[in-house]
Amino acid sequence: MSLKLYFSPGACSFVPHSMLQLAGVDYEPVMVKLHKGEQHSEAYKALNPRGQVPVLVDNGQVITQILAIILHLDQKFPEVQFLPTGTVARTKAIEILAWMNNTVHPTFTHIFMPQKFSDDLAVQAALKTFNTQTYKGLLSELEGMARNAQTESGWLSGKHIGPLDAYALTLTRWGSIAGIDPTSYTALWAHIEKVAADAAVAKVIERERLQLNLYKPD
């Protein structure tokens, strides 16, 4: 079995990176330095023409898109139970993953990379301001989910720590980059600290050299 994950420190690739580490399997992590533009290199574009991480290469099969990679790893390592096994519970978990991926994640992209959406500097500044407010509301939704998890299984992904928990950590950390104090979301922050304390996730945090909270008060 050969598994290779192309990741960038602190990017959304943290989710499959954590899953591979949680699965306890052999894999090769390959770092792509997005800030240096390595995703635009000819070699990387040959792998993923969209120039994005994550990319999982499983026995030569190239898989892109977080959701596809998560579902692939869930099916490949069923013993880990990354997602709930009951039909409805699994569907509801995928519903949240889809929301994280198609709503929360791109809202942050509007804050972090507004140049992707307009080349007008004034529009870029407006996009940042507007989407930062939107992001606060989305973190409040995550806060509600974390609060429910406290009284239920303890994890957003079901009975075990999994991709929803790793994605929540990434999105909350991104909020701190956007100037939002993550500790003001008390249940979410407590959850993130619990996720970060997991030995496998801690290993990924160490490899990616991540600081969980980058919020700097004015």
Residue nearest to ligand GSH (CB): 52
Pick the closer one to ligand GSH by CB: 101 or 172. Answer: 101
DSSP per-residue codes, the chain: --EEEEE-TTSTTHHHHHHHHHHT---EEEE--GGGTGGGSHHHHHH-TT--S-EEEETTEEEESHHHHHHHHHHH-GGG-SS-SSHHHHHHHHHHHHHIIIIIHHHHHHHH-GGGT-S-HHHHHHHHHHHHHHHHHHHHHHHHHHHHHHHTTSBTTBSS--HHHHHHHHHHHHHHHTT--GGGSHHHHHHHHHHHHSHHHHHHHHHHT--S------
Q: Which of 51, 80, 124, 147 binds ligand GSH (CB under 6 A)?
A: 51
Residue 164 binding ligand GSH, by CB under 6 A: no
Pick the closer one to ligand GSH by CB: 12 or 149. Answer: 12
Residue 96 binding ligand GSH, by CB under 6 A: no
Residue 66 binding ligand GSH, by CB under 6 A: yes
CA 62, CA 64: separation in Å to the nearest integer? 7
Binding mask 5-44 for ligand GSH (x = CB under 6 A): ------xx---------------------x----x-----
In the bound complex, what is the minimum distance in angstroms from residue 14's beta carbon to ligand GSH?
Answer: 9
Q: Which of 44, 71, 97, 101 binds ligand GSH (CB under 6 A)?
A: 101
Total binding residues for ligand GSH by CB under 6 A?
Answer: 10
CA 170, CA 153: separation in Å to the nearest integer? 21
Q: Which of 31, 65, 92, 153 binds ligand GSH (CB under 6 A)?
A: 65
CA 204, CA 22: separation in Å to the nearest integer? 10
Q: Which two tokens stand for residue 19?
A: 């899953």
Pick the closer one to ligand GSH by CB: 177 or 187. Answer: 177
Pick the closer one to ligand GSH by CB: 115 or 150. Answer: 115
In the bound complex, what is the minimum distance in angstroms from residue 147's beta carbon to ligand GSH?
Answer: 26
Pick the closer one to ligand GSH by CB: 45 or 159. Answer: 45
Q: Which residues bind ligand GSH (CB under 6 A)?
A: 11-12, 34, 39, 51-53, 65-66, 101
